[in-house]
Amino acid sequence: MKFFLIGFMGSGKTYVGKSIAKELGIPFYDLDEYIEEKEGKKIAEIFQSKGEDYFRQLERKCLRDFGIIGDAVIACGGGTPCYFDNLDWINETGVSIYLQTPIKLLAERLSGDQSYRPLIADKSTSELEQYIEEKLKERTEHYLKASIVYHQHNKEDDVVGEILSHLSHITDL
């Protein structure tokens, strides 16, 4: 079975994904890393040199590459489920898990990571929080179509343990 982690940047998709994959004994893939490998450029460089439209088309194509692999955990980019028919494809292909994370926690996590995230590179803390809030208004309707919505309340939550527990109730894990 394939498990696709979706959510806003900074929600912990890569960390949680690696941990879940390790616990389940299946491979982990990061869609953004896969795109960078295929293009030979960082995401920020792709955005800068070819624009967001090019990136979203590339992202859609690369996402489909995961259709031919077996069991795996895949961390998607923050915008992946919001473009084209990506989320429909994800839900047809596997189980989608939305990591719903409070704005303040997202901003806290992202404030030190801005240099390689092109959409937030030059934002102050208050601008970052405002940006996150605006983007979440646009994206939440897509995110909420996930198979599983996990509500993280604070950074002390046992996200991995709780998701694994939930998965064991809905799959043959």
Answer with the residue of higher pLDDT: 168 or 29: 29
Residue 77 backbone phi and psi in degrees, to 5: -70, 160
Average pLDDT of span 64-90: 97
Q: Is the pLDDT score of 44 beyond 90?
A: no
Structure confidence by residue, pLDDT tens digits, 108-127: 999 877 666 767 888 888 99
What pLDDT score does 36 carry? 97
Number of helical (H) and strand (E) elements in the chain, helices listed first = 7, 5
Rounded to two decimals, the pTM is 0.94
User: For residue 73, how many other CB atoms are within 10 A of its CB?
Assistant: 27
Say what percent of the chain tops pLDDT 90. 82
CA angle, residues 152, 154, 155, in degrees to nearest 5: 100
Residue predicted with more confidence, 29 or 122: 29
Domains and CATH numbers, the chain: 2-155 (3.40.50.300)
Cβ neighbors of 27 (< 8 A, separation 6 or more) are 21, 69, 71, 72, 73
Q: b or e along 138-158 (b: 16 or more beta carbons within 10 Å of the residue's beta carbon)?
A: ebeebbebbebebebeeeeee
**Are 125 and 111 within 8 A, CB to CB?**
yes
Going from the C-alpha of 131 to that of each of 13, 68, 124, 138, the distances in angstroms are 19, 36, 10, 11
The DSSP secondary structure of 43-81, one letter per residue, reads: HHHHHHHHHHHHHHHHHHHHHHHGGGS-SEEEEPPTTGG
For residue range 135-154, list pLDDT tens digits in order: 999 999 999 999 999 999 98
- pLDDT given for residue 123 in this prediction: 87
Span 2-28, pLDDT tens digits: 999 999 999 999 999 999 999 999 999
As a whole number, mean pLDDT of residues 166-171 equals: 84
Q: What pLDDT, on the 0 to 100 scale, is given for residue 92? A: 97
